[in-house]
Every structure is written in structure tokens, then in C-alpha cells.
Amino acid sequence: MIRKLAPYTKGYRIWIILGVLCSAGEAVLELLLPKAMSQIVDVGIANGDKEYILAMGLKMILMALASLVMGVGAAALAARAGMGFGANVRAAEYAQVQRFSFANIEHFSTASLITRLTNDVSSVQMTLMMGMRMLVRAPVMLITALVMALTIGLQLSQVFLVVLPLLLILVAIVIRYVGPFFTALQKSTDDLNLVVQEDLNAIRVVKSFVREDREQEKFAQRSDTLRDTAERAYSFVVLFVPLVTLIMGGTIMAIMWLGGHYVVGGSMLSGDLIAFFTYASEILMSLMMVAMVMMVLTRSIACGKRIVEVLEEQPEITDSAADPALTVENGVMTFHVSLASKKIVNLYVGMAADAEANKADWLLPTTDTVTYSDGTSEEVYGYDIPVAAVDQDFQLALLGTKGKWYDHTVSIRNAQPKAEEAAETPADGEYSVNVTLEGGSGRATVESPAALTVADGKMTAVILWSSPNYDYMIVDGEKYLPTNTEGNSTFEIPVSALGTPLAVTADTVAMSTPHEIEYTLTFALN
């Protein structure tokens, strides 16, 4: 899931890196203060050295100010990176929804798509913002404070041998059991949004048939379900906090009791005990921060999976699906289209409202086998669709697996005579090919010559763009992500034939919002 969402951090990665460094610096500077305070007590106050006290006090003020600046910087950078990441994900998700057919929308439901575009994205972006702060700050504080505590009092630090494993086990138990509840929570949110959407869209019908009480009852049922699910999910959090507080309180009492004996016995200085006490508190607080972030992360993982489901959903009808050659026989034009699955069970040339009355004219599916770029194959439905005229819109009704018809507007455009036979595929091996790029604004270029690999008769080319701002390419309906994280955008895409223009789509994030741009690539051996 992380790997699939990581490309959407493009354009904000520098802010993420700087934010992480600021969070780490803030934690380290903050943990230097207790040591300085112990020196004031054990050296300055013990010897009555005012100059030493003032000098160390000035150092503490400077460290506190530096920590404050880094903390503010980390918060600002995390907000910028998180909001930018969220905007990129929403834009990509919305663009994907725009390519959906009605069958795809039916698969998710409109209410669920709204939740995935809003609530789920907000949850993931908030986790990124919290992760840049707490998931960096907490481990740095934990390790640094533990090292400082060990240097102050090795014997007193043995308290942590009991406390730390106990806290880690508690955190693991909570994370283990809270995950399924958060998944159910998002599903309950979808159900509630669906009721609200249906009622608002059909409010005139509801009022006309005096169904307000019934609809209010439905809303109350879904709302109660959401409430109960949320209560079960957060009950673990409610139990976790007092248990951790109890453990922290017991740990502090143990440190004060043992440390007091060491101070009285002369084996530990008072200032060191104060510093150790502070470091112990930081260790325990850092563990609590990690635990809280992990619980938030558990929910965001559920939300992230839901977002990825939308991004990876294959549209049932795509522009690329309409690319096969148009067949003309005896003055009748048809084209065969292989859909993305078996979710469309029948087609009807005309309006959905007329389909049931003309069952004899329904188009029956064929079973097609499609092979994807990774070599896997799948059986899908295909249809031979009659075409009255090219470059002219016509209505095509689709019947989904749920028994509902949907209207769809289709057109066959840019019909071209069948091209000459493409050049033969070369033997397996590595080649250098010239690449011709057409389309777009003309500002973008690709590196030519490019590397071409032929394995088992299948050709793959390496496309290096003149910009680092392309986050994916689409070839034959398949989406390809960059193979690099630094430098200009690089992709490995399949090549169907040499000497024949290959239609591709490239999405750029160089503008205020991501844009898909249509190109053609033509490959020729040197």
C-alpha cells in the first residue's frame, strides 16, 4: 500500500526530508536540557558558582530557542507535505473515477467513493503529518533519553528492563485487535453516507409519499451502527491510556524510591537524579506517542487500502478498448471490444429505458482471453458492437451483474485504414532504438536513442523523459509507475511493434493539478 501511494509524494519529498531532520533536531536539543540542569544543581549550586549557573542557564535558553525554531519548522513542513500529498491523491483518485463506467461506480457505490475521496484521504494525509513529527520524534527521544539515562545511573536504569517489555506487549496487543474495527468503522461511514445521499437526492419523492419517518428511522439505524462500531474501535484506546498511565506512575514511583536511596547513600548526585527522572519521563512519553501513532496508522492503513482499490480499479470501458480495427463487411460496420472483466453481462444499442422491451436485440458476450504486461492472462467478456457511422456519438446501454441498466455514450473516431504490417520483432537481446515523440505541447521530450530489450519475443523499452514530473504512464490500458525516485521520470513500457506509432498517456504533476497528456511513440532500430 505504501509503495503504491509513495509516488504521490512527488514534489513534496524535499519538505518531508527537511521536516524529518527538524523533528529529530528538536528532540535531541530538548533532551540536552535535563543534563544541563543537573550540572547547574550538582556544580553551580553545590559550589555557589553564580557565573557557572548563569552560563549554563544561557546555554539552556539558547537550546530551548533552537528547539522551538526546529519544532515550528517541523510542524510547518509536515503540514505542507501532508496537504500536498493529500491533494495529489485526491486528484489522482478523482481522475480515476472520471474514467469509470457505471458498472465500476456500481461496484463501489457513490457514497463509498465520496468517503474514499474525502474521509479516507484526510486520514492518510494526517497520518503522514503525524508520522513526520511523532514517528521521528518518539524513536529519537526514546533512544537518546535511554542512552543519557544509562550514562547517569546504570543500576537505576534496570527499572526499564521490566517496564519497556511490558509497554511493548501492551502496544502490540492493542494494534493487533484494533485494526479490524477501524476497517468496519469506514464501512459503517460508507453506509451512513449512502442513506444521506439517497434521501437528499430523492427528497421530493420522500415528501410526496410522506416517508420522512421511515427515512429518519433508516438514518437512525445506520447512525447507531456507526456509533457502536466507533465505540468498539476506540474502547481499546480508552483501556490503553489508563493502563499506560498506571505503568508510567509505577515506574516514576520506583525511580523516586530507588533514586532517593542512592542519593542518601551517596552513590548518586541530586542533580543526576533530577535529570534521570526527566529522561525516564521522556522515555515513557515517547513510547506512548509511538503507541498512539500506531493506532492512528492502523486506521489510515485501512483507509489507504480503500484508496488503492479505487486507483487500481480497471474501467470496464476505456478509450483504449475501442482501438481495435473497425470491420466493414457488406456495408455493415462492427468493432469488437474486450472489456476489463465479466461485470457487464449484456449490451444494447440504444437507451437503457428501451432495453427491457427489446430483449431480442441484446448483444451477447463472447469470452475473450486478454494477456497483460506482466504476462498474466484473464478471461473477460467481449462484444461485437454495430456502428451506424464513424465520428458520431451513439447510445449504448450496459447491463451490470446487479441487474441494472446504465446509459453510456460511445463514438468511433479517427478511423484509419489498416496500417502496413509492422516490422518483425528482432531476436531476443538488447538493442538501441530511435524514439519519435508526438503530441502534447511540444515542450516535453524523451531521450533518443533508448534501450530496447527483447525477451521471449516481447519488447520492452526504457523511456527517459526530459522532466521529473511524470508520475505514471498508461499503455494499452495498463498503468506503469516510474522505475526511479530521483532524476527525470523513467519508465519501462511494452512495445507492441517497431515502426508503428504507439499511443500512450502520461500524467504530469508539473501543473497546479495533475494532467494526463496523450502522446504517440514510434520506435525504429538504429
Query: 231-264: per-residue pLDDT in tens?
Result: 777 776 677 777 777 877 787 788 778 878 777 8
What 3 state SS string does 444-460 have? CCECCCEEEEEECCEEE
Q: What is the dihedral of CA 211, 213, 215, 220, to 10 degrees?
A: 180
Give which of 234, 221, 205 is closest to 292, Cα–Cα. 234
Asked if the domains 320-410 and 429-525 are classified in one and the same CATH topology, the answer is yes
Residue 182 contacts residue 233 (beta carbons within 8 Å): yes
- Annotated domain spans of the chain: 2-312, 320-410, 429-525
Give which of 327, 321, 364, 365 is closest to 339, Cα–Cα. 321
The β-bridge relationship of strands 429-439 and 332-338 is unpaired
The dihedral built from the CA positions of residue 168, 169, 170 and 173, taken in this order, carries a sign that is positive
Report the pLDDT value the prediction gives residue 319, as an integer from 0 to 100.
Answer: 46
Buried b (16+ CB within 10 A) or exposed e, 163-181: bbeebeebbeebbeebbeb
**What's the rounded Cα separation, in Å, for the pair 313 and 98?**
12
Residue 257 contacts residue 251 (beta carbons within 8 Å): no
CATH of domain 320-410: 2.60.40
Which helix or strand (DSSP H or E) is residue 503 part of?
A: strand 502-508
Report the pLDDT value the prediction gives residue 505, as an integer from 0 to 100.
Answer: 92
Residue 298 contacts residue 178 (beta carbons within 8 Å): yes
Cell reading at 216: 429518519
Give which of 500, 493, 460 is closest to 477, Cα–Cα. 493
**What's the rounded Cα separation, in Å, for the pair 420 and 418?**
7
Residue 231's SS3 state is helix
**What's the rounded Cα separation, in Å, for the pair 24 and 518?**
43
Reply yes or no on domain 429-525 having CATH 3.90.230.10: no
CATH: 3.30.1740.10, 1.20.1560.10, 2.40.170.20, 3.40.50.620. Which one for 2-312?
A: 1.20.1560.10
**What's the rounded Cα separation, in Å, for the pair 339 and 343?**
9
**What's the rounded Cα separation, in Å, for the pair 285 and 245?**
10
Buried b (16+ CB within 10 A) or exposed e, 372-402: ebeeeeeebbbbebebeeeeeebebbbbbee
Please state, as a whole number, how many other Cβ atoms lie within 10 Å of the Cβ of residue 483. 12
Give which of 263, 308, 26 is closest to 140, Cα–Cα. 26
Give which of 262, 254, 241 is closest to 281, Cα–Cα. 254
The low-confidence residues of the chain, meaning pLDDT below 70, are 1, 101-103, 106, 175, 178-179, 182-183, 186, 197, 200-201, 205-206, 208, 236-237, 295, 299, 315-325, 372-376, 414-423
Tell me the pTM.
0.52
Residue 285 contacts residue 244 (beta carbons within 8 Å): no
Amino acid identity, position 259? G
The β-bridge relationship of strands 490-495 and 478-480 is unpaired
